[in-house]
Amino acid sequence: MLNKLSEKNMLVTGASSGFGWAIALAAAAEGANVALVARREDKLRELAALVEDMGVRASVCTADVADEAQILAAVDKARHDLGPIDVLVNNAGTNVTERSIEDTSSDQWRYLLEVNLTSAYVFTKAVLPEMKARQDGVIINLASRSALHPGLGGGVAYSTSKMGMDALTQITNQEANAANVRACLICPGSANTPIVMRRPRPPSQEQLELMLQSEDVAETVVFVAGLPPRAHVELIAIKPTHL
């Protein structure tokens, strides 16, 4: 019996930790070959070994997603190693401790938009034509509840970048649904990942345990990626039960 993602090639950005790491493992467990994109090659190679232990292929695509040339090189390497990309997961993201307009510098604003939003646009632009030509493909954009409820908790630059992910997802669907290509925006609430420790007041261990865990989001991604082409989930908001 085939697994949900057997014979699918998935590219995951921000794969060296947090959601990306868990998504790669969950996808591999369901039979997907996985292209791993992040800056830390040592962590990607560690993850690639775990993926390959599951009997599927892994491609290590070291790249800084703030650099368009490195993004395009990563996509080319993924195609070379695995073949056409069936599922793109735009997961890479970051935040800064400064959250208000007054405290956020222009450099921080630009950097967060490059990493959190522009990278997703560039990856999408790179794979969308081949998905449309094949009449099949899934693009999953990992945003945040800040995409739906922007505020100082996430910060001005982070919230803006995640709201932009919503617009990118909707326009991708308008452009590509007719070709059986589906884009989904997943908006997790507070989650126990490294980025949460960049809050002005980092959460306690008790709070971390109440948050979403990376595997919760990974299971959600696999669910969306494994749906038949006739079924399209546009938006998922997932939050901790007790926070």
Q: Which residues are catalytic?
A: 144, 158, 162
How far, in Å, CA of 137 to CA of 146, rounded?
Answer: 26
Q: What are phi and psi of 235, to 5 degrees?
A: -150, 135
DSSP assignment of the chain, as one string? ---TTTT-EEEEESTTSHHHHHHHHHHHHTT-EEEEEES-HHHHHHHHHHHHTTTS-EEEEE--TT-HHHHHHHHHHHHHHH-S-SEEEE------S--STTTS-HHHHHHHHIIIIIHHHHHHHHHHHHHHHHT-EEEEEE--GGGTS--TTT-HHHHHHHHHHHHHHHHHHHHHGGGTEEEEEEEE-SB-SGGGGGSSSPPPHHHHHHSB-HHHHHHHHHHHHTS-TT----EEEE--TT-
Q: Say if residues 100 and 200 touch (Cβ distance below 8 Å).
A: no
Assess contact for 9 and 86: CB atoms under 8 A.
yes
Closest C-alpha among 104, 177, 97, 109 to residue 137: 177
